[in-house]
């Protein structure tokens, strides 16, 4: 709600969202009260133990004094010595108070350490790959539950340079998850993803990022200049590389029309740019390192018709020398694709040349027989 405060204010959602806000705040307050009660309980326990110990020493000492087995001075000395022990006892009780937080932290650290670790040193050194991607018996499941259903289950799939490949499917069919598997962001639960016949698990995150450009559906830009935002895609790139990437993404002419050009500061999350401009700058960032593979997730979602046609021409030119995989349902981009892959619930529903698959997908349904109930 805080991140979307602009929308909340624009459409006057404050009254509608107030019960939800109060419910979440009440939950947070209740949790704080429980933690405070537990903390106070340990403090009171320490005080009670101190009082009980003091009373016990005094009572036992008084009994010994009555029996003439202890002097008054000795009792006073015992009380003074026992008082020196109360401090460590209270510290021990206070340490036990933090033991619950310690156990929770250890559990979270255990989950973190159990996660797959990115490779820091490459097993094999190689030059820029050609861009052949292949999926072999890949399954992927979110979470660690043993019987959780697979989000992705693909026996075999291949992407080659020389043309665009479109990935289609309903919401939740696994399109974005498949892209992240191809990018190496997610390790497969089973099977493997190959880049030029080499298992991608052999390469480091930096190598894969240099070879595979990725444009997510939700564009993330930083509060710095346009030049820096593009250059983040390939640290150490030259100004000429940035100009070529921006030109290929179709955003160069827009940038040079700005008063500060590539030195324009775009604001937090690119707030000073339109959604289409942010999208094309993200594409330029993915292209600046001249990757062998380009993966795009709904790249035309924020573009108008004219910008979408420019993007189509740019992607067709890029696909001539690299592998381009696009998640899209755009009527402008789909006809430019060479191949089409259709996913349904994480499985392959159809694949093949676009000229064969698209007519089957978008063919009009025959009318129901006369007299049939809808």
Q: Kindly state the tokens that stand for 293.
A: 């593979």
Q: What is the mean pLDDT of residues 164-193?
A: 90
Q: What percent of the chain has pLDDT over 90?
A: 13
Is the model's pLDDT at 47 over the cut of 80?
no
| 311 burial type by CB count under 10 A (0-12 exposed, 13-18 middle, 19+ buried) | buried
State residue 117's pLDDT score: 60
CA 268 vs CA 18, 217, 233: distances in Å: 27, 18, 18
State residue 11's pLDDT score: 52
**Of 235-244, 298-307, 321-330, where does mean pLDDT reach its minimum?**
298-307
Is the model's pLDDT at 313 over the cut of 70?
yes
User: How far is CA 101 from its chain centroid?
Assistant: 26
Q: What is the mean pLDDT of residues 307-333?
A: 87
Residue 2 CB neighbours (<10 A) = 6
Following DSSP, what letter does each residue of 83-147 receive, concatenated?
A: HHHHHHHHHHHHHHHTHHHHHHHHHHHHHHHHSPPPPSS-SS--------EEEEEEEE-SSS-TT
CA 49 vs CA 35, 75, 230: distances in Å: 21, 19, 64
pTM of the model: 0.69
Task: List, for residues 64-91, the tens digit of each pLDDT value.
Answer: 888 878 788 887 888 787 777 777 776 7
* Domains of the chain with bracketed CATH: 5-113 (no CATH), 133-362 (3.40.50.300)
């Amino acid at each position: 709600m805080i991140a979307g405060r602009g929308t909340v204010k624009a459409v006057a959602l404050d009254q509608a969202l107030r019960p939800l806000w109060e419910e979440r705040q009440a939950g947070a307050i209740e949790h704080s009260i429980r933690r405070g009660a537990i903390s106070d309980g340990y403090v009171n326990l320490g005080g009670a133990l101190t009082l009980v110990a003091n009373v016990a020493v005094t009572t036992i000492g008084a009994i010994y004094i009555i029996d003439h087995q202890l002097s008054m001075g000795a009792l006073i000395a015992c009380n003074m010595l026992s008082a020196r022990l109360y401090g460590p006892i209270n510290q021990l009780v206070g340490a036990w108070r933090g033991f619950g937080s310690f156990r929770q932290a250890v559990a979270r650290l255990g989950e973190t350490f159990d996660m797959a670790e990115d490779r820091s040193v490459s097993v094999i050194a190689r030059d820029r790959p050609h861009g052949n991607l292949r999926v072999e018996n890949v399954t992927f499941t979110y979470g660690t539950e043993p019987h959780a259903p697979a989000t992705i289950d693909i026996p075999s799939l291949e992407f080659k340079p020389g043309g665009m490949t479109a990935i289609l499917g309903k919401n939740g069919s696994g399109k974005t998850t498949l892209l992240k598997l191809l990018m190496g962001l997610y390790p497969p639960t089973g099977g493997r993803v190959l880049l030029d016949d080499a298992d991608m698990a052999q390469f480091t995150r930096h190598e894969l990022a240099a070879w595979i450009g990725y444009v997510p559906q939700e564009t993330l830009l930083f509060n710095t200049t346009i030049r820096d935002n593009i250059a983040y895609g390939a640290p150490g790139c030259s100004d000429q590389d940035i100009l070529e990437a921006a030109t290929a993404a179709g955003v160069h002419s827009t940038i040079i029309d700005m008063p500060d050009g590539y030195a324009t500061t775009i604001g937090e999350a690119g707030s000073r740019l339109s959604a289409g401009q942010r999208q094309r700058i993200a594409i330029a960032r993915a292209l600046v390192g001249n990757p062998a593979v380009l993966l795009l997730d709904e790249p035309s979602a924020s573009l108008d018709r004219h910008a979408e046609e420019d993007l189509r021409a740019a992607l067709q030119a890029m696909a001539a020398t690299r592998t381009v995989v696009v998640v899209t349902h755009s009527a402008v981009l789909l006809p430019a694709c060479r191949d089409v892959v259709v996913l349904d619930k994480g499985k392959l529903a159809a694949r093949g040349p676009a000229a064969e698959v698209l007519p089957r997908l978008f063919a009009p349904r025959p009318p129901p027989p006369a007299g049939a109930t809808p």
